[in-house]
Structure 1
Amino acid sequence: MSASSLVPVSLAGIARVAGVGRAAVSNWRRRHDTFPERIGGSDTSPQFSLTEVEGWLRDSGKLPDGHERELLWLRFEALGSRAEAGLAIATSATAASATTASPRPASAARMTPPDAATAELSAAAAALGEKVGRREIFEFLLRRWLEINARQLSATPPPLASLMTWMALSAYSPDSDRLTVLDPACGTGHLLSAAADLAADGYEDLTLLGCEIDPAQSALATTRLDFAARAAERSAPVHAAVDIRTADALREDPWPVSNADIALCNPPFSERDWGHDELATDARWTHGLPPRTEPELAWVQHLLAHLKPGGTAVVVLPPAVAARKAGRRIRGSLVRTGTLRTVVALPPGCAQPHGVSLQLWLLNKPAVGTAAPQDVLFVDASHHIRGTARDSGPDWDALSQHVRAAVERLASPPSQELPARTVRVPVIDLLDDEVDVTPGRHTSAGTAPAPGELPRTWDELRATLERIGRLSETLSALVFKGAGSTPTVTVGDLARAQALEVRAGQQSADDSPAPESVLARPLPMLTIQDLLLGEAPRLAVDPAEEHTVAEKGDVIVVGVDRLFRTWVHQDEPVALGPQLYRLRVDPTLLDAHFLAGCLRAPANRRQAGTHASSSSRIDVRRLQVPQLPVADQVRLRASFRDLADFDTMLEQVHQQGKGLIGELSDRLASGDGLAAASAR
C-alpha cells in the first residue's frame, strides 16, 4: 500500500491543494454526494484520505496548476513530529540531487538512512524536482515546515539576514580574496544563505561554517547551503565550501581555533541553562565572565573569540542586553576597547519575539597595533513601521536605507553629517555607572534630523490626503434610495438557513504557548488584548483540540462594543479567543466582503448591543444584513472596500500628523527652528 493512501488531510489542506478558500471545500462536501467520506477527526475538524481527495479533485476538474507541491507537502507533514518531517525533507533533497550534483565537503550534520516512507517521499520529491527544479522544491518544503513550526523555531527573516550581512561586509576590510563566514547558532541557515548570496561576487574562495544543536535544523541547513554554494559557483568565479556541525556551540565548540572573517548570529534568547558553571574558566571570556542571567553576552564573546583580528560580527539581541545592570562590566569593556562599533534599534516585528524592538550590535575585533575607535554609532530605526495597528510590520525598504546610510558614515570623520535619529557618542561619555548602550537614550537628545526628513514626511502626508480626496469624491457620488427600502435579515436567520455558520471563540487553556511535545502544529490565537494593543497574536494553541479557527475568506466579528469591528480574514489560519466570532459563508448565497461591510455599520452595533453591564457586548446573531442577490452583493462590496480604505487612510493621516507634531515640537524646543520662527 502506498504511504500516501494513509495520509489524512483536513479541509484547510484540501483548500490549499485546490487553491480555494475553506468555505468552498465545505460547500463541495455538502453539495456533492461523491465527495470522499471522513476517515477521522471530528465533525468540526474532519480528516479525509489524501489519495481519495486527490482522485475526487482530479475527476471534478478542480486541480489547479502547481498542485503537486501542496500534495507533496501534505505527505511530508503527515510523517508526524517536527524533527522527523525536517530530517525527511533534508534527506529527500540530498537523495534527489545525489546522482547529478558534484560532491560537497563532508559535514558533521549526518542524516539517518531513510525508512520506506521517507524513501518513497524522496522519490516523489526527485521526480517533481526534475520538472520544476530541485532547489525550488526543497525551498518550498522548507518554507512550509518553518511556517507550521513558527512558534517553536526562531528564523531570521530574509530582509534582516541581508541587512546584517551587508553591515558585516561593509565594516570589514579584506586582506585577501578568501572569506570565511561563521554562524554558531545557524538554525536552518538563513544568515549563511544571505552571506552566500551577497559575498559570492567579491571573493574567489568562500567558506560557510555553521553550528546548530537541533539535528533536524542542522540537516536542513546543510542541504540549503549546499544549494546556495552551487548557485554561488554558477553565478560567479568562486569556490564555495560548506561545513555545518551538530553541537551545542557554547559547551562543545566545534571550531576552537578557527578564524572567521565575519560572524553573523541570531542566538537563542534568555536561556539560563547555557553552561555558566562548567564554562566559568573558558578562554573566550576576554571581556569578563558572563553572568548566569546574561547568555546573550556569552554569545557575543563567542563570536569575538572566533574572529580573526580586523574581523566583524553582527548579532541580534534583545533590548535589555543594552542596559541590564548585570552586564555593565562586559559592556564597558566592549566600549572601552573599541569592540562595540554600532547599535541599531529595530522596529517590532523584525524577528522573533515579534512584539519586541530588537537590536543589532556591530562588533569589530581590533587588529594588533591599531588605535581603538573613540566613539560608538547609535541608530534608532525603530520608527520604520508600515501599515496600521491591525496590519503593521517593519518598513524594510526605509529601514534598510536608514541603517545603510548610517553605517556608511562609520569610517567617516566624526564631523560629517549623520542621518536622522543617528548619533556618534564619545566612548568617555558612555563609561558611566550604567554603560547603557540603548540607541533611544542617546539619539533622543541633541540629534538633529536630516534636512530632508521633514519634507519627506510632509510629502507622505500630502500623498495620503490626495488619496483621501479621490476616495471622498467616489464615496460622495453615491446616491441612496432612502432608509428601509430593502428588507433585512439577521445573522441568526442566515445561520438557520445555512447561508452562513456562526462559531464563537474559546478561552485558551494556558496563557503561554504549549511545549513542543504537546504542540505538533501550533496555531496563533487572536485575542481581545491583541486587538487592544494592536499587536500580533501572542498565544498559540494545539489545532488537534477543538478551537474556532478562522481561515482565509472567513468573516471575523469582535463582540465587544468599544472594539466592535468586522473584517474578512486574509492571512494564515488563526484560532479565535473569547468574544471573537467566526462567520463562514456559503459563497453561492453570501459574499463575505459584502457581509463584513454591512455588519460594521454603526446602526448595527447600536441595535445589537447589550447593556446589562459596564462592559457592553454585541449579540452577533442580532446583526442585520440586507436581503440582496449575490450579484448585487458583489457590486456593493466595491463601495464597502472603498469605505474600508477611507477608514484606513484616515488612521494613517492621524498617525502621520501625530508624528509631524512630535518632530516639530522637538525641533522648536531645541532651538533648531529659531531662524524659521524669526522669518515669519
Structure 2
Amino acid sequence: MPKQPEFSAAPEVSAQVTAAEISRLAGVTRATVSNWRRRHMDFPSPAGGTDSSPLYDLAAVRTWLAGRGHGEKVPPIEELRTLLRLSAHDRSAAVRLLPFALAQRSRPDLFTAADALSDDDVAVRAQASVHELPALPGTRFDDVTYTASDAALLRAVLRCIDAGQTQDAVDVLAERELEDEAASGAYATPGPLADLMARLLGAATPQSPYPVRVFDPACGSGALLVAAARQGAKYLYGQDLVPVQARRSLVHLGLEAPDPTADIRAEDSLRADAFADLTADGVLCNPPYGDRDWGHDELAYDPRWAYGVPPRGDSELAWVQHALAHITPGAFAVILLPPAAATRSLSRRIRAELIRAGALRAVVSLPAGAAPPLHIGLHVWILQRPELTAPEHQSVLCVEGASLTGSDGKSGPRPARTLGGSRTAGRDGVVTAPWDSLTEGVLRYWTSYATDPSGFEDVPGQARAVPVVDLLDDLVDVTPARNIRTTAAAADPVVVAEQARRLRCELAQAAEALAASARQEDWPAAGAQARQWRTATLADLTRGGALTIHRAGPPSSRERDTPPPAEFENRPVLSGRDLATGQRATADPETPVPHTTAIVAEGDVLLAEIRSDSGTKARVADEQDSGAVIGRGVRLIRPDPKRLDAWFLAGFLAAEDNLNSASVGTSSLHIDPSRLRVPLLPLEEQRRYGEAFRHLYTLRQEARRATELAVLMPKALADGLTGGTLLPPSSSNGSDRTDPTRPAS
C-alpha cells in the first residue's frame, strides 16, 4: 500500500481529559504531570471533575503542551482510543467507522492531501470511499454517513493506517461499541488457537482438499474464519448476535482474507438461524459459555437436537448440535468448549449419544492460560456428522495439551497474542506461549488417529485412543486427564528402574553440591554498626564513562517488514523470562530478533527490567551467553573492568532496597536503571564483594536444580509403583535408599 502522508494534529475536540490521559498525550509519567501542576502557574486549571480526580480542557492542555515543546507522543492507536472515549455522546461512531478502515485500504488516493482538507471535505471523501465498497450478502454500506464532527476520528483512523495498525484500529473501534453489550460468557479466540483449530479441521481428512465452505455460528471478530481462509477455504459464512461484531468480522475478513467470498449475518444463531438451509463442509466455533438464556423453552422441539434436548444450563451442547446440523455427512466440526461440557451430569445422556453415534471423535485439553478465560484449561472438541455407510467408530481420541508444552496443567502457557474471536475480542499481547510445540503435538496425534484409528499407538501422559466402552459408564466423562494413562502398561520395568536410579543419583549429587556450598566459612559481622558508604547512581556512572547501558527497542513501523541488521540476524535472543528463570538465550529461529539491541559479551551485567518476587534479578554474562542479543525485558550494563567489578555491580544492583527505590509503575513494576545506586569502593574491595555475590548466585542455581529433581524423582518412583513397573524396596528399613549409586536389581 502506498505510504500515507503525514497528518496534522486532529482538530481540537471540546472535551475534558484526566491527568493520566495528559501523561499519555505528552509521553511522560503521571508524576511529571503532578509536578507541572504544582510548579507552573500557567498550567490549565481544572475544568471539571472533583478535587481528587480533576478534569482538564483538552484544547487548553494541548495548547500548553505545544507552548512548552511537549509535542504529543501518544501512539496513533492510543490517540484513537482517547478520542473514542471523548465521543461518548455519539456511541454509534465506532460501528460507523469500521467500514472506513476497509475502504481506505483500497482507496488511499482519496486522502493524499488530508492535512490540507477541511473537516467537511474529510467527511465527504470518507463517505464516498465507503459507498464505493462492493455490496456483500446481508450487508449494506450505502447507509453510512459522516459529518464534520467525525473528522477528528477519521483522521485518527488514518494515522493508525499510516502506522501499519489497521487491524488494531478495527479492534479498538469494535471494543468501544462492545462496552455496553451484555453478551456474557463470550471470549476472544487467540490467533495461534484459531490457527490450530483451522488446521485440525483440514487434518481430519489429510488426503482431501481443505473444506471449501466453512461456517462459524458465533463468529465474533472473524478470527476463525480468517484462519480457515488462510488454509484454503473459499466460501465463509458467519453469524453473531452482536451487530458490531458481525460488521467487525466482515471488515476483518476484507483486510486479512479478501479473496474468499464472505457472508456474515447479525442475528441470534440458535433462535434465528440465518443459514437454516446451509450445509457447510466444515464448522469452526468458539461459542459463548454458560448462557442460560439461549432459547431452551422456545426451541424444545427443534429438529437440530438429534442427540437429545440440551438442558437449560448447558448451552454448550446446543451449540455442538447446531454445528453438526450445518455440515454434510462425514464432514467435521471443531469447537472450543469449557471443561465443564465434558463432565456436566445434566448432559451425560447427550454425550453418550454423541459417542454411540460416532459423532465425538476427539477431545483435546489446552493448558490454562492458552485462551480466555485464562484461569481454566479449555477443551477443543472434534466432531463428525455420522455417515450411514461409514464403519462404526470404536474409540475417541483424548490428548492432554499441558503435557505437550511442559506445563504442569495449572500454570500453562502465558497468554498469547489475541487476534479476535467469538463475540468479544481483545488485542494485542505478546506471543509468549509455547504454541509451536502444542500445535505440532496435537496435529501429529490427530492426523495419525484420523488416518488409522485402530492402529493408533497410545502415548503415556499425552494421548490415548479411549475405547467407547470405557467412556460409556455412569459419568460419561470425556475429560482427557481422566482417560489418559500416565504410564504405559507394556513399559519395560528394567528401563523404568534405570531411569528412577538415574534421577536418584542426580538428586543425591545436587543435594551434596548444595550442602557443600552452604557449608562455606562463616560470614563475619561488619562491626558494631552496619557499614556506610558513598554511592553513585548508574546515571552518574554512565556520564563518567564507568559503564554503558543498552536495551532492545521495538521496531519502527518502517522496520516491521524488514529483517534486522546483519550483525544481529540469526543470533539467539535472551529475554527477560530467560533471565528470571536462569535459562540460556533462545536459539529458536522463529524467535524475532530486535532491530535495536546489543550483543552480549562475557562480563556484561544482565538486569531484568520488570520486578518479580522470585527469579534472578541480575547476573553476569558468561562464555555461554556471549554472542547472544538481548530481547525485551533485559537491560545490558557493560562496566569498564578497570573501574568496576561485574559481580560486585550485579550484586548491589539486585539488592531489594535498591530495586524498591528504582521501581516505577502500578500493575507491573518496571526498573529504571538510571536510579539504581552503587557504593564507591576501591577495585580490590569490589572484587572481594564480587566473589561473595558470585558464590551466592551459584548457591541459588544449585538450590533450584535440587528442587527440580526433588519433584521429578518422587513422581517417577510413584508412577513406577502405581504402574506396576517398580516394587517397594526389599529392605524393611529402606537402607537401599541411602546408596543411590547401587545398580537396580
With normalisation by structure 1, the TM-score equals 0.65
C-alpha distance in structure 2 between counterparts of 1:310 and 1:273, whole Å = 31
Percent sequence identity over matched residues? 32
**Structure number, greater radius of gyration:** 2
Shift in Å, 1:554: 11
Please state whether the residue corresponding to 2:442 is helix, strand or coil. helix
1:132 alignment partner in structure 2: 163
Q: Which amino acid aligns with 2:438?
A: L
- In the superposition, relative to structure 1, how do residues 84 and 408 fare at CA in structure 2: closer, same or farther (>3 Å)? same
Q: Which amino acid aligns with 1:312?
A: F
Please state whether the residue corresponding to 1:409 is helix, strand or coil. helix
Q: Provide structure 2 residue ranges, at least 5 long, that are not aligned to the other structure.
A: 1-9, 109-128, 416-432, 535-608, 618-631, 634-652, 663-673, 682-689, 729-740
2:243 alignment partner in structure 1: 215
- CA deviations 1:112-156 (Å, max 9, x no partner) are 634547632453145325633473553563597599899965211
Shift in Å, 1:432: 2.1
1:331 aligns with 2:351: yes
Shift in Å, 1:309: 2.1
Q: Which amino acid aligns with 1:113?
A: V
Shift in Å, 1:303: 0.6
- In the superposition, relative to structure 1, how do residues 275 and 149 fare at CA in structure 2: closer, same or farther (>3 Å)? closer
Please state whether the residue corresponding to 2:273 is helix, strand or coil. coil
Shift in Å, 1:284: 1.0
Please state whether the residue corresponding to 1:291 is helix, strand or coil. coil
Note if contact 2:342-2:478 (Cα within 8 Å) is conserved in structure 1: yes
Shift in Å, 1:16: 3.6
Note if contact 1:260-1:306 (Cα within 8 Å) is conserved in structure 2: yes
C-alpha distance in structure 1 between counterparts of 2:200 and 2:35, whole Å = 52
2:218 alignment partner in structure 1: 185
Which of the numbers 252, 257, 262 marks the counterpart of 2:277? 257
Note if contact 1:109-1:246 (Cα within 8 Å) is conserved in structure 2: no
C-alpha distance in structure 2 between counterparts of 1:104 and 1:358, whole Å = 39
1:227 alignment partner in structure 2: 255
- In the superposition, relative to structure 1, how do residues 298 and 43 fare at CA in structure 2: closer, same or farther (>3 Å)? same
1:405 aligns with 2:444: yes
- CA deviations 1:384-438 (Å, max 9, x no partner) are 4769999973643343333223223212354443444211111122222221111
1:38 alignment partner in structure 2: 46
Which of the numbers 125, 134, 138 marks the counterpart of 1:108? 138
Shift in Å, 1:319: 1.4
Shift in Å, 1:182: 1.2
Shift in Å, 1:596: 7.3
Q: Which amino acid aligns with 2:248?
A: L
Note if contact 1:107-1:243 (Cα within 8 Å) is conserved in structure 2: yes
Q: Which amino acid aligns with 1:163?
A: L
2:677 alignment partner in structure 1: 632
- In the superposition, relative to structure 1, how do residues 365 and 392 fare at CA in structure 2: closer, same or farther (>3 Å)? closer
Shift in Å, 1:329: 1.5
Q: Which moved more, 1:144-153 or 1:290-299?
A: 144-153
Q: Which amino acid aligns with 1:261?
A: D
1:610-649 alignment runs, 5 A limit: 630=675, 632=677
Q: Which amino acid aligns with 1:405?
A: R
Shift in Å, 1:378: 0.6
- CA deviations 1:246-288 (Å, max 9, x no partner) are 0000000010111222211111111111111211221111111
C-alpha distance in structure 1 between counterparts of 2:377 and 2:304, whole Å = 28
2:379 alignment partner in structure 1: 359
2:227 alignment partner in structure 1: 194
Note if contact 1:345-1:358 (Cα within 8 Å) is conserved in structure 2: yes
C-alpha distance in structure 2 between counterparts of 1:47 and 1:644, whole Å = 49
C-alpha distance in structure 1 between counterparts of 2:654 and 2:237, whole Å = 50
Note if contact 1:430-1:437 (Cα within 8 Å) is conserved in structure 2: yes
- CA deviations 1:152-210 (Å, max 9, x no partner) are 6521122221221121121145756761221111112222222233x1xxx3x612211
C-alpha distance in structure 2 between counterparts of 1:286 and 1:262, whole Å = 18
C-alpha distance in structure 1 between counterparts of 2:270 and 2:187, whole Å = 18
1:402-481 alignment runs, 5 A limit: 402-410=441-449, 411-412=451-452, 414-419=454-459, 420-444=461-485, 447=488
- CA deviations 1:193-240 (Å, max 9, x no partner) are 22233x1xxx3x61221111111222211211111123xxxxxxxx41
1:484 aligns with 2:504: no
Please state whether the residue corresponding to 1:209 is helix, strand or coil. strand
Which of the numbers 153, 169, 172 marks the counterpart of 1:141? 172
1:23 alignment partner in structure 2: 31
C-alpha distance in structure 2 between counterparts of 1:413 and 1:141, whole Å = 45
Please state whether the residue corresponding to 1:351 is helix, strand or coil. coil
Please state whether the residue corresponding to 1:408 is helix, strand or coil. helix
With normalisation by structure 2, the TM-score equals 0.60
1:393 alignment partner in structure 2: 414
1:240 aligns with 2:260: yes
- CA deviations 1:333-388 (Å, max 9, x no partner) are 11112111111122222333322222111111234422132110111223547699
1:379 alignment partner in structure 2: 399
C-alpha distance in structure 2 between counterparts of 1:442 and 1:403, whole Å = 16
Please state whether the residue corresponding to 2:477 is helix, strand or coil. coil
Q: Which amino acid aligns with 1:412?
A: D
Q: Provide structure 1 residue ranges, at least 5 long, that are not aligned to the other structure.
A: 231-238, 489-552, 558-562, 572-590, 601-628
- In the superposition, relative to structure 1, how do residues 122 and 310 fare at CA in structure 2: closer, same or farther (>3 Å)? farther
- In the superposition, relative to structure 1, how do residues 644 and 678 fare at CA in structure 2: closer, same or farther (>3 Å)? closer
* Superposition CA RMSD, Å: 5.2
- In the superposition, relative to structure 1, how do residues 29 and 91 fare at CA in structure 2: closer, same or farther (>3 Å)? farther
- In the superposition, relative to structure 1, how do residues 332 and 114 fare at CA in structure 2: closer, same or farther (>3 Å)? same
Aligned length, in residue pairs: 537
- In the superposition, relative to structure 1, how do residues 416 and 556 fare at CA in structure 2: closer, same or farther (>3 Å)? closer
Note if contact 2:214-2:280 (Cα within 8 Å) is conserved in structure 1: yes
Note if contact 2:77-2:160 (Cα within 8 Å) is conserved in structure 1: no
The structure where strand makes up a greater share of residues is 1
